[in-house]
């Protein structure tokens, strides 16, 4: 019997990630994380619930031929504000909004929401374009399309 399709897909994702990282100066991932098997996922549904790991996200973007992002990019050194994922050369950021539906939703309580408003206002003043998604939407074709539109829209930062 042949190799299961999921193993073939996983191997191809790791090969593309390795190739993408060889040309990237923004990634500090150790080889062990690149070679770690990725959890099963389908493009239509995105990451399994509770999964948001850098190797999986990088493999997904490499597979979809999206430029690799910088994780936790600090765009404002004085305030130590950081974006979840960013493409600094194009001034595009992606914020993964977890905890939206919890009773005590982390940054989405009053004080966290006020902090986020200040952070995003400062980013807008610095001419950043910020995209948003939920964790389960991170590795989906819809998010890839949204990122591509922002990166290649021709708008100058």
Show pLDDT as tens, one digit a residue, over the chain (157 residues).
Answer: 555 544 555 666 666 666 655 654 444 444 544 444 443 433 334 444 445 688 889 999 999 999 999 999 999 878 889 999 999 999 999 999 876 555 555 545 666 778 888 999 999 999 999 999 998 899 999 999 999 999 998 655 4
Half-sphere exposure of 100 (CA within 13 A, CB side): 9
- Is 157 part of a structural domain of the chain? no
- Is 113 part of a structural domain of the chain? yes
Domain that holds residue 9: 5-151
Cα-based torsion angle of the residue sequence 14, 132, 88, 141 in order, rounded to the nearest 10 degrees: 40
Number of domains within the chain: 1
Q: Are strands 70-76 and 129-133 parallel, antiparallel or unpaired?
A: unpaired
- Is 70 part of a structural domain of the chain? yes
- Is 156 part of a structural domain of the chain? no
Give the SS3 label for residue 81.
Answer: strand
- Is 41 part of a structural domain of the chain? yes
- Is 89 part of a structural domain of the chain? yes
């Amino acid at each position: 019997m042949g190799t299961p399709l999921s193993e073939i897909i996983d191997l191809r994702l790791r090969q593309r990630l390795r190739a993408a990282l060889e040309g990237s100066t923004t990634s500090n991932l150790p080889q062990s994380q690149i070679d770690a098997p990725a959890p099963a996922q389908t493009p239509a549904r995105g990451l399994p619930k509770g999964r948001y790991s850098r190797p999986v996200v990088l493999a997904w973007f490499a597979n979809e031929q999206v430029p690799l992002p910088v994780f936790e990019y600090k765009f404002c050194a004085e305030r130590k504000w950081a974006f979840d994922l960013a493409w600094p050369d194009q001034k595009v950021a992606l914020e993964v909004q977890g905890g939206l539906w919890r009773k005590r939703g982390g940054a989405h309580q009053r004080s966290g929401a006020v902090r986020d408003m200040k952070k995003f206002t400062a980013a807008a003043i610095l001419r950043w374009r910020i995209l948003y998604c939920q964790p389960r939407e991170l590795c989906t074709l819809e998010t890839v399309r949204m990122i591509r539109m922002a990166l290649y829209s021709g708008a100058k930062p």
